[in-house]
Structure 1
């Protein structure tokens, strides 16, 4: 059973036992707003440029259905996180 007080890590399944487990020596940003609100995204392997650009994350809850993506990225005022929802993309 998962700990309901800890955010879920993006990419883990709803039924995963370790859905809320973060890995040591990994860096995470919280996703703010939109369909993935409150989840954590592992940004450990991203370059500085990739972190600046943000990411299109697959979600079944986008305006475009199961094949859609949600755009998340850093803000100028808080470049290290959380990443905010910028909208849905096909």
Structure 2
């Protein structure tokens, strides 16, 4: 990923197009920041997720991972409810 691609991702919600007129977070929604890996800096909307779902983390489809069309794996960091940390990629 080059610098221009990285700038496009920062502050944007995962799943929103980079050219969307408002790709940022929405009021009244709950987000965690994705830290590390191919989706670093994106926000993941976890509104309505149960504590069990949050504890399980997320396997997020992306073309930016090691395996194009695969998933980037993110898990919550114990004691930090605001971030999911990258743990690897999956085909």
TM-score of Structure 1 vs Structure 2, range by shorter chain? 0.7 to 0.9
Unaligned runs of 5+ in 1: none
1:11 has 2:15 as partner: yes
Where is the helix percentage greater, Structure 1 or Structure 2?
A: 2
Where is the strand percentage greater, Structure 1 or Structure 2?
A: 2
**TM-score, reference length from structure 1:** 0.85
- CA distance, structure 2, for counterparts of residue 61 and residue 25 of structure 1: 29
Unaligned runs of 5+ in 2: 1-7
* Stretches (4+) displaced over 2 A: none
Aligned-residue CA RMSD (Å): 1.4
- CA distance, structure 1, for counterparts of residue 75 and residue 21 of structure 2: 28
Matched residues, number = 83
